[in-house]
Amino acid sequence: MGDAGTLVWLFVVLVLLIFVVIVLVRSVRIVPQARAGVVERLGKYQRTLNPGLTVLIPFVDRLLPLLDLREQVVSFPPQPVITEDNLVVSIDTVVYFQVTDPRAATYEIANYIQAVEQLTTTTLRNVVGGLNLEEALTSRDQINGQLRGVLDEATGRWGIRVSRVELKAIDPPLSIQDSMEKQMRAERDRRAAILTAEGTKQSAILTAEGERQSSILKAEGDAKAAILRADGESQAIQKVFGAIHKGNPTQKLLAYQYLQTLPKIASGSSNKLWIIPSEVGEALKGIGNVLGNTTADTDDAADVATDP
């Protein structure tokens, strides 16, 4: 009997120990950083736990699932939205929100993520429904601002703050996409043609400018060369004229030099007409008289020699 009583006593002690351990485990809770817990006492809200160590009353207090206080990102599936010009576009949205009041997020809404999704879809259809396709594609910032304003106002009483709403993609119908692609291709071709024409124009302008500068430089070079040749010929004539005057030539010598030059003048195949100055005729007459007087004197001397 003593052994049986000892075993029963040990069993009771073991049960008590297990009960104490369970009570301690249920009484001591640790809340991590950026988390919050809501405590209910006998089914009624009692307090909100902050990060750290806390002690609960066993079997009286109940800790609800912890809430994440960090900013959360939720991407919703694409939603079909009808624009003002009766075109169905598929819009993919992303919502950035944060729980600011754990008590309101727990008791004011059953599932705040699902509520944000449904509210986003409804607001998106209202906003985009008042825009045509072109405005919807080019007014993303405006749509984001309107969505954020409506969502932040509606979710404020749920203890949630919507910080940003982004439209990831706006996909128009395939037929509209083909038309837009053709339009963009035509626009790119038009811009390419304009750039090509502009380049050709600039090239022609630069080429003409280069040719003009080349012609100007060539003309200036020819003018300088002609001036230098004229200066050289002038100096040569002046030197020859000075040499002639310095030698004091007679008319007979000039006529003789002209006769020496006539064969050179006549050697050209294009020379058909000769122009002889009057001074040359008079010089030739003087040469003839000289030659005649010389011949007469020679004949007279011969006659005197032969006379007995």
Tens-digit pLDDT profile for residues 211-255: 888 888 888 888 888 888 877 777 776 776 666 666 666 666 656
163 and 80 assigned to the same domain: yes
Q: Is 18 part of any domain?
A: yes
The DSSP H or E segment spanning 103 is helix 102-107
Q: Is 27 part of any domain?
A: yes
User: Tokens at residue 201, please?
Assistant: 């124009």
Q: Is 262 part of any domain?
A: yes
Question: Which residues constitute the domain of residue 289?
Answer: 251-293
Q: What is the pLDDT of residue 160?
A: 92
Contacts of 23 (CB under 8 A, 6+ apart): 58
97 and 141 assigned to the same domain: yes
Q: Is 126 part of any domain?
A: yes
Instruction: Look up residue 270 and give its DSSP letter.
Output: T
Q: Dihedral, CA atoms, 242, 246, 248, 253, nearest 10 degrees? A: -60
6 and 89 assigned to the same domain: no
Overall residue count recorded for the chain in this entry: 308
Q: Is 41 part of any domain?
A: yes
Q: Is 189 part of any domain?
A: no
140 and 85 assigned to the same domain: yes
Q: Cα dist. 162→87, 96, 206, 246, 305 in Å?
A: 29, 6, 60, 115, 154
77 and 9 assigned to the same domain: no
Regarding predicted confidence, which is higher, 299 or 265? 265
User: Tokens at residue 207, please?
Assistant: 């080429």
Q: What is the pLDDT of residue 281?
A: 56
Which residue among 172, 196, 217 closes a domain? 172
Helix, coil or strand: residue 252 = helix
164 and 87 assigned to the same domain: yes
pLDDT tens-place string over residues 3-37: 677 777 887 888 888 887 887 777 888 889 989 99
First to last CA, the chain: 218
Helix, coil or strand: residue 208 = helix
Q: Is 137 part of any domain?
A: yes
Q: What is the pLDDT of residue 25?
A: 76
Helices 112-128 and 140-155 cross at an angle (nearest 10°) of 140
Residue 151: which CATH number?
Answer: 3.30.479.30
How many separate domains does the chain show?
Answer: 3
